[in-house]
Amino acid sequence: MKAVSPEARAELLDVLAFLDDLSDELEDALDLSAPNAHLRMALHLLKGHFEGKMVTATTLISASRVPYATASRRLKEMLEAELIEQRPRTKTGKSFSLHPSVSLLEQWVQLAQRVRRLTETRFGGHDRAQDARDYYFGGSYAAAQSIPPLQVRTEPLKVPGGLRVLVHGDPTFMAMKTLKRQFEQVIGEQISQRAFSIDRLREEALRNAERTASRYDIIAVDLPWIGEFAEKGVLKPLDEVMDLARIDPADFHTAGWQAAHWDGRAYGVPAQTTPELLFYRRDLFADAGLEPPATTDALLNAARTLHEPRRGRYGIAWNAARGTALGHTVLMTMADFGQPVLDLPKIAGGYDASHLAGGGYRVTIDTEAGLQAAEFLLELLKYSPPDILSMSWYERVHRYSAGHIAMAYGYTLLAPYFELDPTSPAFNQTGYLPHPAGPGAAPVAPVGGYVMGIPANLAPDRIEAATEALTVFTSPEAQKLYVQNGSRTNPRYSVGSDPEVRRISDVFEAVDAMSWRDELQFWPRPPVPEIVDIIRVCGEECHDMLRGLVSPRDALRKAQARADALMCQT
């Protein structure tokens, strides 16, 4: 995927550059005109904040363009007016970095809005598109329900050797890496981030738990691992290290927040809530006179209609590689036909997967609904690319992005591959749907994603700083920054309803609507300790079925028997 300049940051910096250039012109126009030291220093301070660069009293005085004594007085006035915050840079407290206060940021937003309105009124800006008008000059920050920029901490975190974070190598966490300097400014400490593939991430987290002291202050955890990591003591329960009210649990999508729990306790804060959806090409559907599919039968009809191998286009792509990738598809397809992989109690909206810590559950693979799901996958195979049986997480979306696929099942975290690429045929042509449902079942958007948690073996003297950093990384302000820097995942209602976020992508409004309709569910992959092995077993046995080596019924029987044996071992 091509690197994309973060639009929001660019627009904010544009406004600063505009005012800086305008000041130059005004000062040069009249010999008697003197630099506005307050404005010059404010612009420099804000630019440093948005670019994640350190600002000191010396650099701020230099930026004022007035004599040293005058600049020193103006700086003192801004400090007294609480427009600037000082943060100690050294243990002695004699050296400080300077940062814009909440008050200065609020005044900046108001000024940006006024500048935008003035330029539009005086210079014909009314003809521009509404979204561009709202975006330009940072005006969206002043909109109703708009989330403000991140604020720096008054006191820097104190973590020997810097903060160490273990994450997954996906677009959201890579956005966090892109913002590394800005986050370092916010928390006042260096950040070291390691990113692994999903399987290596789990292995490293489990290996880390065996160490005397954790190498990481914060680790990212895939939602299905919560039960295993809680039972094995990999993570600390959050209520042991923080007041949960600080993170505003009610702001998280319900399914994402519930999935972070085991035995009634939260073990992580949602960093990504990324349901697997059906991506479909709106233009191709319109040309073919097709409606967006709400049922599995309608999906098969659309795949059949749009499947044109001779023209290099296939109906649909999905996770079908042997093992873990296909195993996820099997569980989610069973859910499409109303069948969880465990005998969960039925409740409104689906099944209850929140009371699994006591055990007593059994695997339910070899069922009539399971057979319907298996036969559905065999039908999908007819309208899939020739290499579908080796296709997994990224390949399916890459091919969709390239225009070779009309529909693809995919997590929203992968949407940047076509949403941020103007050369993609799917750019601005993608619709988002929950999984189409089988007969008698309801549409489901199976929730995936990651929480960020505190390792159970983290040294006691690092826990407070790790908890503070965790609060920053998962805050609404941080989540909005991730979106502005390319992420298409979001765990919070407040971020999804932010006007600027909604303008960036249709996916946020779509996911919020699914959440309110109770379609976002985590029961398709219940987070029991055995789930990773159950997924692998399903992916192995059903791969043999898709290759034509065994019948659907035999594949389900074998998967059921192997899964039952796993349960007996635990």
> In the structure encoding, which two tokens stand for residue 164, read together?
């160490």
Helix (H, G, I), strand (E, B) or coil at 416: helix
The chain-wide mean pLDDT, for the chain, equals 88
As a whole number, mean pLDDT of residues 399-417 equals: 96
129 has a pLDDT exceeding 80: no
Task: Write the pLDDT tens digit of every residue in 236-264.
Answer: 999 999 999 999 998 999 899 999 999 99
The per-residue DSSP string of 454-516 comes to -BTT--HHHHHHHHHHHHHHTSHHHHHHHHHTT-----BHHHHT-HHHHHH-HHHHHHHHHHH
CA distance 513 to 473: 25
Q: Would you state the pLDDT for residue 114?
A: 65
138 has a pLDDT exceeding 80: no
> In the structure encoding, which two tokens stand for residue 446, read together?
């199976």
Q: Would you state the pLDDT for residue 121?
A: 60
29 has a pLDDT exceeding 90: no
2 has a pLDDT exceeding 60: no
Continuous segment of H or E residues that includes residue 191: strand 191-196
CA distance 222 to 448: 7
> In the structure encoding, which two tokens stand for residue 267, read together?
């073990």
- CB-CB neighbours of 5 under 10 Å: 8
> In the structure encoding, which two tokens stand for residue 224, read together?
């299905």
Q: Please give the residue that has the higher pLDDT: either 149 or 16.
A: 149
Q: Please give the residue that has the higher pLDDT: either 10 or 472.
A: 472
CA distance 215 to 236: 15
Q: Give the lowest-confidence range in 11-15, 69-73, 197-201, 271-275.
A: 11-15
Whole-prediction pTM: 0.75
- The number of residues making up the chain comes to 570
Contact residues for 100 (Cβ-Cβ < 8 A; gap 6+): 42, 45, 46, 49, 83, 84, 85, 108
Q: Would you state the pLDDT for residue 137?
A: 38
Q: Which residues of 210-234 are buried (b: 16+ CB within 10 A; e: fewer)?
A: eeeebbbbbbbbbbbbbbbbbeeeb
Which domains, ranges and CATH numbers included, belong to the chain? 7-142 (1.10.10.10), 163-273+448-515 (3.40.190.10), 276-443+530-569 (3.40.190.10)
CA distance 167 to 389: 28
44 has a pLDDT exceeding 90: no
Task: Write the pLDDT tens digit of every residue in 338-387.
Answer: 999 999 999 877 899 989 998 899 999 999 999 999 999 999 999 999 99
Q: Give the lowest-confidence range in 2-6, 7-11, 340-344.
A: 2-6
Q: Give the lowest-confidence range in 102-106, 135-139, 176-180, 498-502.
A: 135-139
The partner residues of 437 in beta bridges, in order of sequence, read 295
148 has a pLDDT exceeding 90: no
As a whole number, mean pLDDT of residues 13-39 equals: 72
CA distance 257 to 259: 5
Distances (CA, A) of 335 to 230, 329, 330: 25, 10, 9
